[in-house]
Structure 1
Amino acid sequence: MKAGPSLLHRIVLRLSLTTAAAILCAYSWLWFEFQSSISSLREQSLIESARLLAESVHHDEGQWRLALPAHLLAPYRRAEQPYGYAIRDQVNGAILLHEGADVGPVPHLRPEDEDEDGVLYTFPAPDSGDGEMLGEYLTFTAAGHALGVQVVRPLARESDLIDTVLLDFFEDGGWLAAPFLIALLAVSILTIRGTLKPLRDISQQAERIGPTAPGVRLCATAVPHEVQPLVQAVNDALDRLEEGYRVQRDFTADAAHELRTPLAVLIAHIDTLPDRQTARELRRDLDGMAHLVEQLLRVARSEALVIQPDEQADLAEVARGVAEYLALVAIRAGRLIEVEAPDQPVRVRGQADALFHAVRNLVENGLRHTPAGTAVVITVEARPPLIRVRDHGPGIPDERKELVFQRFWRADRQTPGSGLGLAIVRRTMEAHGGQVRVQDAPGGGAEFCLHFVP
């Protein structure tokens, strides 16, 4: 099945994009907020400078003077700093006091422009490479005269200074966005992986659910409460499946058990028929039906097979028991059964009766396919514990080696048997925690290997 998109990758990708967008928005907001704040501070500085000059103007002995310390007037007196101020008479516009750069014309004031902060204006800087000048014009009254003060500064230099400050900020502090994003993603990945761990745990629990452990359920207490309804729904579905599985198994077992007695009675009646030829033909058909019923009963029992922790079986004893049980059948068919097993017991955790029937099925299958005069060989090995059943028949093609373990599968309808024997063997080995495999035998034929857990 094609794997779907990773939930972790999708969360990390979306979180990365969201975080990057948030950082970009944050830096953009800082940029515009800084620009706005600097513009406001610049305008407020001009207004405060104009107010300071207006408050310091006084008329003394027929002269207009500024009562300001020299260090406050120094910026207007430096040639390298094109700052300037002018005190004007509002009536005729005459300049009463002036220092520094040209302050430009008096801005035209509309009634709605007049307030306590004056008015800001710009004008081209005369004979200068500084571009535009930014000025503040504030009206006031001193010594009974209506006056106005103009303060100007170069707009370009302040803008260059602002751009420099912003550039330095983004160069010095902007790189922090990358490690911050990486750290955030690392923490997010660890957090998401930790959050998804309960889902991985219940996935491993689900892998253990099967015919050998139909009662296993997913643990709903260790998962996030958002996932608990899904886990509970899965457990409920498993309960229904187990119940249906049990009903089907019980029906098969009951039906097979109920058929055994009528078949036994029918066989007994057929044996009393005077026509011995007809009796033999009917007996052969009834023996086949009885074998099928027996196999169905074995299937039902194998489905319910549970190996207890303290149960043990001797593989060597199982192999010898099967050989003794089928010896007469093999002799009548002109075939042999050979057992190669160590003298010491080969013990495994398992149920001897179930293993006996599993090996019996393999040997019966081998007796049907091995040629007359040859032997079916049962080999028992201790390390690792396993049983091999080898015949000298035609073997099994590679494309059919998995199909032979399916219920009721037969190569053709003329092949004797019910098609259940090898399915019972596989189910029995699953209950024992082992495996059954088929391969080509050396010298021809098929070899079935029962592998057990050491």
Structure 2
Amino acid sequence: MAGPEAYDRGWSLSRRVAVRAALAALVVLAAMLAALVLELEDVRGDLDDQSLQTQARQVLRYMTIGAGGDPVFDPPAAIAALYADPAGNEAFALLDEAGTFLLGSAGVRAPLSELLPAEDSRTSADADPHGLGDLGRPFRGEAAGRPVTGTGFRVQVDGRPLILQVGQGNDHPDVLADSLIEEFLENAAWWVIGSFAVLIGVTLWTIRSALAPLRRLSASAARIGPATSGVRLGGGAEGGDLPREVAPLVAAIDGALDRLDGALETQRVFVADAAHELRTPIAALRARIEATLPRDQAARITPDFDRLSRLADQLLRLAEVDTLAVAPGDRADLAAVARDVLAELAPLAVQRGRSLALDGAERPVPVQGRAEPLARLLRNLVENALACIPEDGTVTVRLVPAPTGDAEGPELLVDDNGPGIPPDRRARIFERFWRADRRRGDGAGLGLAIVQRIADAHGAGITVEDAPEGGARFRLRFPPPGRG
């Protein structure tokens, strides 16, 4: 089955939603800024057109053709003052149809711009008495040595077709309005960008906080195992604030866990009952055979009964440890456990011509756990080692207390001076019913599977290494007593 790391290759749901929300916000931001710029540019253009057209009408109102055929500009004093100062903000130039300069405001001696309006841009006399069109020919020009923004119109003065160019300096109110619009664009853009940045930040925070119950639910699901099979996702605090859309999925998972627990419990009960019920028939059959067969024949069959009895016992133990759970308040002393187990197995070692040694058990070595399952774990490791080492070999149990500072937990080492375990087999020795040498009939391949299960229940990691004496070393690393 794929572990959690198998699902880390793709993007998480929160990242997908966050990226899409950020992209959508950026697209909307860009569209808003573009629309704002276009709208304000359009407003600015309208303001320029209206202002310059108003100025052109003002000039044409007081423009006539004199007796000699030359144009004359005769405005009232207030209007004349606007065009009498060469450094003023308003200027005009009157040209003939060919673009030759005829008349201008103070200081203007040439056309304001070489750009001339189109020949068909003049409005009919019925629409406008001066033939002034709605739109002129915009330009950036110069009047009396100062820059102006203006436009040109094809007009009629007393029936004579002419070209009128009007311009405004940088201090003109309409030009100031343009500057204000540009400044607004610059400032508004930063305000809009800042607002969207805050919006994106709030969106990301909202997504993360909304998915927090799912992360807690995932952590709770990761803790479900054989020892915590009664835990359900929807029954704890994690299930109280789940989104409504996820609730059916959680309910379906809890239902599947219920069915799975039922099947596992049925299997465990069957294995335990079968192992328990096998003990009495095996013992009775062995007694009958020993009573009826000659001693030499019975002796050849007795090892088979020993293996059957051992298999039944291991199946029963395996069914027990499958439901093993270690409570936070459980405490055990590895030193006391090791002393008891080695004292129990010492007669067996002497009978087989092997030796047992214990190192590091002078002081208590506390761990979070239960003494009886830990004794079973150590007993299986020592029994396996005794079966593998040669005659006169030694099995050494070493205890390594937790380092100062309680950053790491204690260790339990079981060393032997046997043939060792090849590296290519170390990954499989904890599998159920796996044996390196199936020609040997003294085991069913369940002892190390029981060891692995007990170690898992205690949060201990177990590894196989080469022992200093050349044999095998089983190393169990327990978590600190306060962090199990």
Same fold (TM over 0.5): yes
Question: How far is the alpha carbon of 1:447 from its aligned partner?
Answer: 2.2
Q: Match of 1:269?
A: 288
Match of 1:411 among 436, 446, 449: 436
Residue 359 of structure 1 aligns with an amino acid whose one-letter code is L
**Cα distance, 1:79 vs structure 2:** 6.2
* Identity within the alignment, %: 36
Pick aligned residue for 1:209 from 211, 224, 231: 224
Of 261, 276, 279, the match for 1:257: 276
- The worse-fitting range, judged by mean Cα deviation, of 364-373 and 196-205 is 196-205
The match for 2:426 among 401, 410, 434 is 401
Deviates more, 1:76-85 or 1:195-204: 76-85
Give deviations 1:248-275, integer Å, cap 9, x for gaps.
2222212212222222222122212223
Look up the match of 2:242: 223
Which of 289, 296, 315 in structure 1 is aligned with 2:334? 315
Indicate how the Cα distance of structure 1 residues 435 and 32 shifts in structure 2: closer, same or farther if over 3 A, else same.
closer
Residue of structure 1 aligned with 2:311, choices 288, 292, 295? 292
For 2:263 and 2:380, locate their aligned partners in 1 and report how far apart those are by CA, in whole Å: 28
Instruction: Please tell me the root mean square deviation across aligned C-alpha atoms, in Å.
Output: 4.6
> Greater shift after overlay, 399-408 or 275-284?
275-284
Give me the whole-angstrom Cα distance separating, in 2, the residues matched to 1:440 and 1:228: 51
Deviations 1:95-139 (A, max 9, x none): xxx99699999945398x689x996264799x999998455989x
Correspondence for 1:60: none
Give, in whole Å, the separation in 2 of the partners of 1:56 and 1:79: 19
Moved more, 231-240 or 245-254: 231-240
Q: TM-score, normalised by structure 2?
A: 0.71
| Cα distance per residue 1:128-181 (max 9 Å; x no partner) | 99998455989xxxxxxx99xx996548989x9598766555556545566555
Report the more deviating stretch, 101-110 or 15-24: 101-110
Per-residue CA shift, 1:324-350, capped at 9, x if unaligned?
Answer: 433333333222333446455545443
Distance change (3 Å), C-alpha of 1:14 and 1:122? same
**Could you tell me which amino acid in structure 2 is paired with residue 436 of structure 1?**
I
Q: Are 1:364 and 2:364 an aligned pair?
A: no
Question: Partner amino acid for 2:381?
Answer: L
Q: Secondary structure at the match of 2:439?
A: coil
Deviation at 1:381, TM superposition (A): 4.9
Corresponding residue of 1:447: 473
CA distance in 2, matches of 1:71, 1:356: 113
Asked if residue 120 in structure 1 is aligned to residue 146 in structure 2, the reply is: no
Larger mean Cα displacement after TM superposition, 198-207 or 38-47: 38-47
* Pick aligned residue for 1:71 from 72, 78, 81: 78
Q: Which residue of 1 aligns with 2:347?
A: 328
User: Quick check: 295-304 or 175-184, which moved more?
Assistant: 175-184
Go from structure 1 to structure 2 and tell me whether the alpha carbon gap of 1:234 and 1:45 turns closer, same or farther (over 3 Å shift): same
For structure 2, the 5+ residue unaligned runs are 1-5, 64-72, 95-102, 403-408
Equivalent position amino acid for 2:457 in 1: A
Segments of structure 1 that go 5 or more residues without pairing to the other structure are 58-65, 86-97, 139-145
Cα shift readout 1:276-302 (whole Å, capped 9, x = no counterpart): 333223321122122111101100100
Q: What secondary structure is seen at the aligned counterpart in 2 of 1:418?
A: coil
The size of the alignment, in residue pairs, is 426
| CA shift for structure 1 position 306 | 2.5
Greater shift in the superposed pair: 315-324 or 179-188 = 179-188
CA contact under 8 A between 2:153 and 2:165: conserved in structure 1? yes
8 A Cα contact 2:122 2:155, kept in partner? yes
Q: Determine if contact 1:76/1:84 at 8 Å carries over to the other structure.
A: no
Partner of 1:37: 43
One-letter code aligned to 1:269: R
Judge conservation of contact 2:411–2:477 (CA < 8 Å) in 1.
Answer: yes
Range with bigger deviation, 336-345 or 395-404: 336-345
1:317/1:71 Cα in 2 relative to 1: closer, same or farther (>3 Å)? Answer: same
Report the CA distance between 1:418 and its aligned residue: 1.1
Q: Does the alignment pair 1:282 with 2:279? A: no
Letter in 1 for 2:437: D
What residue identity is the alignment partner of 1:38? Answer: R
Structure 2 counterparts to residues 163-202 of structure 1, below 5 A = 170=185, 174=189, 179=194, 182-202=197-217
Contact 2:138 2:152 in 1 (8 A): no
Match of 2:257 in 1: 238
Cα distance in 2 for partners of 1:276, 1:215 equals 52
